[in-house]
Amino acid sequence: MDGTLLKTVHARAPIRVNDIGGWTDTWFAGRGRVLNIAVAPAVEVRILVFDNPDRRKKRVRVRAENYNETFDMDPDAPRREPHPLLQLTIASVPIPADVLLEIRLFSPVPAGISTGTSAAVSVALLGGLDRLSGGGRGWAEIARLAHRVETEKLGLQSGIQDQICAAHGGISFIAMDSYPDSRVRRVRIDRETWAALDRRLALVYLGRPHESSALHEQVIARLETGGPQMIVLRDLARTADEAAAALESGDLASYGEAMIRNNESQRSLHAGLVSGDADAVASIARKAGAAGWKVNGAGGDGGSMTLLGPEDGVRRRRMLDRIERMGNGIRIIPVSLSAEGLKSWEE
């Protein structure tokens, strides 16, 4: 961009896996419990700050590396195309008229795989822009602002857990007593349990982004009526409580059982929320002696799932190799636990 480079701001935020209790952090649930895990590699944002002597209005250039796209925007008049999430997130933090920004974004995983990637992008963007404007927003405020972008500005269905995980990091237990307000605590586990969990968790990409919007709307329509499926939401919330207790006691076997119960509870909401590919991966995991498996996010066709592999490293590696040989784009995405949530800094 034209102008003199003044400084560079960086930000990053982790993605999320294994959201036990998901679906209960929503407006139609009203209240719920979710346990989720932040993992690296993180979404990365780099903001190059230049002076703007000509006071041009389109003073933000966005480079979305994953899409190989570049566009310019006026942060005071965001548009719906291209990439409305990016434009509306950027417009949520006032940007001084005397600077030009070049914002580069990179996600380590494909879009739409049910790992809270869009929330991590929003949180990282807001964290970097907040640092640029002088800071002061805590992780909870940034998570809430990112959630409002998706729900109020974009009109999307969104629970609260993804933004919280991206901003908070670590293993988060989220208690939502009245949507969207929540209490969040970090689940503390000993070093041995952390190392074992880090070693045994695996993220499986199911070959394509999730294509389940219509299916999810069907489930939401049923839940809006307050019928018997609301019992499933209560079961999901209770499973999150049990999973947190299992981790805190170092009982990974019980944690894996909670994953499986959650997976079957999601199936109870709608059979289509657990796809045939997910069941095929789970079958391989079961035969290998895995402790747990669960579709990530709301579920449906495509997306991803989390496995808690067997303790034995040889059996675990064989399991992952068999999954990768399934074909149809199904593959393992390497991840590691992230104790850190949103982080921003200046060069």
Tokens of 245: 């207790």
Q: What is the pLDDT of residue 347?
A: 86
Q: What is the pLDDT of residue 212?
A: 67
Terminal Cα-to-Cα distance of the chain (whole angstroms)? 18
Condensed to tens digits (0 to 9), the pLDDT of residues 265-321 reads 999 999 999 999 999 999 999 999 999 999 999 999 999 999 999 999 999 999 999
Average pLDDT of the chain is 95
If you average pLDDT over residues 139-168, what whole number do you get?
96
Condensed to tens digits (0 to 9), the pLDDT of residues 33-89 reads 999 999 999 999 999 999 998 888 899 999 999 999 999 999 999 999 999 999 999
The domain made up of 191-337 has a fold known as Alpha-Beta Plaits (3.30.70)
Q: What percent of the chain has pLDDT over 70?
A: 100
What does the domain layout of the chain look like in residue ranges?
5-188, 191-337
Bigger pLDDT: 1 or 304? Answer: 304
Same fold, 5-188 and 191-337: no
Q: CA-based Rg of the chain, rounded to a whole angstrom? A: 20
Tokens of 259: 């994953």
Bigger pLDDT: 215 or 73? Answer: 73
Nearby residues of 90 by Cβ (< 8 Å), 6 or more positions away:
60, 62, 73, 75, 78, 103, 125, 129
Q: How many residues does the chain have?
A: 347
Phi then psi for 223, rounded to 5 degrees? Answer: -70, -30
Q: What is the pTM of this model?
A: 0.95
Condensed to tens digits (0 to 9), the pLDDT of residues 202-211 reads 999 999 998 7
- 186 and 170 Cβ atoms separated by less than 8 Å: yes
Whole-number Å distance between alpha carbons of 263 and 293: 7
pLDDT band, residue 213 (cuts 50/70/90): confident
Tell me the residue type at 59. Answer: R
| Strand pairing class (343-346; 5-20) | antiparallel
The domain 5-188: what is its CATH number? 3.30.230.10
E strand or H helix that includes residue 105 = strand 99-106
pLDDT band, residue 179 (cuts 50/70/90): very high
pLDDT surpassing 70 at residue 150: yes
If you average pLDDT over residues 213-242, what whole number do you get?
89
- 123 and 13 Cβ atoms separated by less than 8 Å: yes
